[in-house]
Amino acid sequence: MRKCLLFSCMILLMYSCKKDNSVNPEVLPNGYSNQALGKSAMDILSASTYSSMTIEVQYMPGYMLDASTIANLTIFLDSICNKPGGIVINQTQIAANGNTFTVDSAAITERKNRTAYTAGHNVAIYILVTDGFDTSLTTLGFAYRNTSICLFGKDIFTNSGGFGQVSRVALETSVLEHELCHIMGLVNLGSPMVVAHEDAAHLNHCINPRCLMYYAINTNRALPGMAGNVPVMDSSCRRDLRANGGK
C-alpha cells in the first residue's frame, strides 16, 4: 500500500527538483553510465536491449531508504518498465560526508563508490542518498546522468514525519519516483512528448499541478485533487513513456 500524505492547514512549503543535462567530467569506469540525462530512457523502459534491471542504492549513515519506500519503488518500476528478466534493488551503506552537495560532488561520490554498471542484458541505475544538504536548501533531489540520481536524505528527514508534515515514506517515494521519471525521459528529456505538456516556466516538468512530474513537491499537504495520495503521473506523461517502450 502506498503511504498517504497527511493533510495540513499549516504554511505550504514548496520544494523543487533540479537536473543537469551535462555529462560530468568525472568519468565513471563504465562509459555507458557517463552520458547525458535522458539518453538511456528507452533502454530503461523497454526490453529491446536490456531485459532486466539492477537498482543500486548507496546511502550515508542514518539515511537508508525505508522498506516501504523500496516496496513502493518496486511496484512503480514494475508498472512502467518492460523488464521480463526482473528488477533487483540493493541497498548498501557508504561513508558519511556531511557537506552540502552539488552535481559535481555527487558525481565524485558515485565514482568512488558505485559498483553496479550496465552490462550484457542488464541495465543498472545508481541512487545516492546523502547526509548533506543541497546548496540551494530547497532541492530534495536531482537526476544528473543517464542512470544517476541523488536524494538529499537529511532534507527529506527534516521535512517529513513531524507534526503537520507528510510521512517520511510518502516524501521519499514522491521524490524518488519523480527523479526516476527524469532518467526515463520526462518531460521532453529523452521520451518525446506525444502531446505538448511541458511547463515552459519549468522545463522538463509537466504543466499539470496534479502530476508526479509537476516541478514542485509539496511537503505539507496533498497536491490539489490528489485526495491525500502520493502524486501519480498524469495521462500525458504515461503516454510518453509507453510510446518510448514502457508499459
Please report the pLDDT score of residue 162 as a whole number. Answer: 81
- Set out the domains of the chain in order of their start, with CATH numbers: 14-243 (3.40.390.10)
Please report the pLDDT score of residue 21 as a whole number. Answer: 58
Three-state DSSP at 134 gives strand
Please report the pLDDT score of residue 207 as a whole number. Answer: 95
pLDDT in tens, 33-69: 999 999 999 999 999 999 999 999 999 999 999 999 9
pLDDT in tens, the chain (247 residues): 343 333 232 222 345 566 665 555 467 778 899 999 999 999 999 999 999 999 999 999 999 999 999 999 999 999 999 999 999 999 999 999 888 888 889 999 999 999 999 999 999 999 999 998 877 667 889 999 999 999 999 988 888 888 777 788 988 999 999 999 999 999 999 999 999 999 999 999 999 998 999 988 643 333 333 344 688 999 999 999 999 999 9
Please report the pLDDT score of residue 217 as a whole number. Answer: 60
Question: Which DSSP state fits 159?
Answer: T
Please report the pLDDT score of residue 1 as a whole number. Answer: 39
User: 0.75 cut: is pTM over it?
Assistant: yes
Please report the pLDDT score of residue 164 as a whole number. Answer: 72
DSSP characters for 25-88? SS--SSGGGSS-TTTTHHHHH-SSS--EEEEEEEE-TT-PPPHHHHHHHHHHHHHH---TT-EE
Please report the pLDDT score of residue 83 as a whole number. Answer: 98
Q: 67-80 and 168-183 helices cross at what angle (nearest 10)?
A: 30
Strands 148-152, 141-145: pairing is antiparallel
Please report the pLDDT score of residue 12 as a whole number. Answer: 27
Please report the pLDDT score of residue 77 as a whole number. Answer: 98
Please report the pLDDT score of residue 176 as a whole number. Answer: 95
- The residue with cell 523502459 is 45
Other CB atoms within a 10 A radius of the CB of residue 138 amount to 16
Alpha helices in 83-152 (DSSP H): 103-113
State the Rg of the chain over Cα: 17
Handedness of CA 89, 82, 109, 116 (dihedral sign): positive
